[in-house]
């Protein structure tokens, strides 16, 4: 099965063969592939070589290993589509914030853990919010859960000068969320910018979001403007469970 004269490393040949069997459907989504020791016999290479091949496919997100059970073809995850136009004022007033709006759209039971803290603005935050470095910011550090499973991390930072004395400094921001409180205090939101990127998770993120290997996170940095920048919100999402959908006018 393995051509030792081709110059292609054995573990890559094995990986290519298994990948082909996944694509052809011979190994179906959710089904186990043969055990490592079986593959050792099939391909005539050592177990570390088989493990190298499996490691490569796990990295690509094609396989998932479960200790004591086997190695499985990654099942296709159900993807939630998060519409970013839900940031509009109409949608905001109709529910208690973007995440809760998504919950009602997605049919899952939401819960959130919030930690509030105050800290001096670091350079990036000061730059995005138009503050002097070191000015105090209110930090709302949240873990959003859907049916108990953590699905999004979100860290909002707002100038303390505009949150002092408001429910934004409380765990529960009240109806309409932090944006409603801002507008009540004269900070009428004009627009948002969202900067979207992706990277591999830190070990901590992988643990909280229960990501299996080979699953990147999508990073969204949202800056809310009410004339000036009033909030920067760094969000981290599991890329196998969420996609973002943006609406762009043609003119």
Partner DNA sequence: GAGTGGTCTAGACCACACG
Partner DNA sequence: GTGTGGTCTAGACCACTCC
| Site of interaction with its own copies (CB under 8 A) | 48, 55, 59-61, 79, 81, 84-85, 87-90, 188-203, 213-218, 225, 239-240, 242-251
66 binds, among its own copies, DNA, none (CB under 5 to 8 A by kind): DNA
Give least dist CB 181 to DNA, A: 44
Q: Which long-range contacts (CB under 8 A, 24 or more apart) does 87-92 make?
A: 87/192, 89/189, 92/176, 92/177, 92/179, 92/180
The kind and range of the H/E element at 221 are: strand 217-226
77 binds, among its own copies, DNA, none (CB under 5 to 8 A by kind): none
Give least dist CB 61 to DNA, A: 15
Regarding 51 and contact with DNA (CB under 7 A), the answer is yes
Angle at the Cα of 223 from the Cα atoms of 105 and 87, rounded to 5 degrees? 25
Contact 154, 116 (CB under 8 A): no
Structure tokens at 151: 């699905």
Contact 116, 195 (CB under 8 A): no
Backbone dihedral region of 61: left (phi > 0), alpha (psi from -120 to 50 degrees) or beta? left
Among 20, 41, 46, 119, binds DNA (CB under 7 A): 46
Give least dist CB 176 to its own copies, A: 13
Among 1, 20, 47, 193, binds DNA (CB under 7 A): 47
Regarding 66 and contact with DNA (CB under 7 A), the answer is yes
Residues that bind DNA (CB under 7 A): 7, 9-12, 32-33, 35-38, 45-49, 51-52, 54, 65-71
């Amino acid at each position: 099965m393995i051509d030792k004269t081709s110059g292609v490393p054995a573990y890559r040949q094995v990986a290519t063969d298994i990948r082909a069997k996944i694509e052809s459907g011979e190994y179906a989504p959710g089904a186990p592939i043969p055990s490592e020791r079986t593959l050792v016999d099939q391909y005539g290479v050592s177990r570390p070589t088989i493990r190298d091949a499996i490691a490569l496919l796990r990295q690509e997100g094609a396989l998932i290993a479960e200790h004591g059970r086997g190695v499985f073809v990654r099942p296709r995850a159900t993807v939630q589509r998060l519409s970013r136009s839900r940031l509009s004022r109409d949608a905001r007033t109709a529910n208690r914030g973007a995440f809760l709006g998504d919950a009602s759209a997605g049919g899952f039971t939401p819960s959130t853990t919030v930690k509030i803290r105050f800290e001096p603005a670091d350079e990036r935050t000061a730059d995005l919010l138009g503050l002097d470095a070191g000015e105090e910011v209110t930090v709302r550090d949240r873990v959003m859960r859907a049916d108990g499973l953590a699905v999004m991390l979100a860290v909002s930072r707002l100038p303390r000068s505009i949150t002092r004395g408001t429910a934004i400094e409380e765990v529960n921001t009240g109806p309409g969320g932090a944006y409603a409180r801002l507008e009540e205090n004269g900070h009428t939101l004009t627009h948002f910018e969202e900067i979207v990127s992706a990277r591999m998770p830190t070990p901590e993120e992988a643990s909280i979001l229960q990501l299996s290997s080979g699953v990147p996170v999508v990073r969204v940095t949202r800056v809310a403007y009410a004339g000036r920048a009033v909030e920067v919100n760094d969000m981290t999402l599991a890329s196998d469970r969420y996609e973002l959908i943006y609406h762009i006018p043609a003119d």
